[in-house]
Amino acid sequence: MRDCFGAVACAVLSGLFEGCIHCAEDSARYSRRPGEMANCFHTLEPCWRNAQVSSMATFPLRSPSEKVGGLFYFGRMLDKIRVHGKGELPSDYHANLGKGFDEKCVIFLRVNYDQLVERVKKGVTDEEILQWCFSVGRKPSESDIYVWNEFMRKRGWNDEVSEMVERRKAEAGMADRSNIQTSFQFIDADEGRLPSPR
């Protein structure tokens, strides 16, 4: 990682991701055995995923690649908080609320996750919440944001998490999907946003 990003990346990410093999955003729910719920979307087993993931538009969480204020993943974290607050977040997402990529994001912004949840509950917009993070935490520079985005979007590609991504693909019945090489791509495929190449 240090070789790829250089001094700026080391300064931004030191102690944040180093050595972590569980930074896939939903690592807890991706730890299931083959044949369990992770596989149901692909085998059309009767479960919540068949009911809710009939199309990309109906899935309650946005892609981790969608940006808010230039930042990857931030909007998805807010979606999870909002949907959970309504009692509509699928149960297999609950264990990792505030952990995994959520935790990395609040550490990057230097805000407290529980305080963030309370802010989201006030019903303000994504942009207003981000500005709040900047005011109580820190406002990253353009270089910081670039490093964050590049690291996040490539997580799982040719790094210490690659083996985990391949294992999750196999567990989800997607071992042959060559278009899934990163954690973000796996999340999008698992939630029906990344179609299989023909």
Q: Does 2 score more than 90 pLDDT?
A: no
Q: How confident is the model at residue 195 (pLDDT cuts 50, 70, 90)?
A: confident
Q: How confident is the model at residue 190 (pLDDT cuts 50, 70, 90)?
A: confident
**Separation CA 45–CA 190 (nearest Å):** 14
Q: How confident is the model at residue 132 (pLDDT cuts 50, 70, 90)?
A: very high
Q: Does 26 score more than 70 pLDDT?
A: no
Task: Provide the b/e sequence for 15-24 (b: ≥16 CB within 10 Å).
Answer: eebeeeeebb
Mean per-residue pLDDT over the chain, rounded: 77
Among 117-131, 134-148, 159-173, name the one with the lowest average pLDDT: 159-173
What residues does 67 pair with on adjacent strands? 72
Q: Does 124 score more than 80 pLDDT?
A: yes
Q: Does 43 score more than 90 pLDDT?
A: no
pLDDT on residue 73: 97
**Separation CA 181–CA 40 (nearest Å):** 21
Tens digits of per-residue pLDDT, 157-180?
988 888 888 888 898 898 899 989
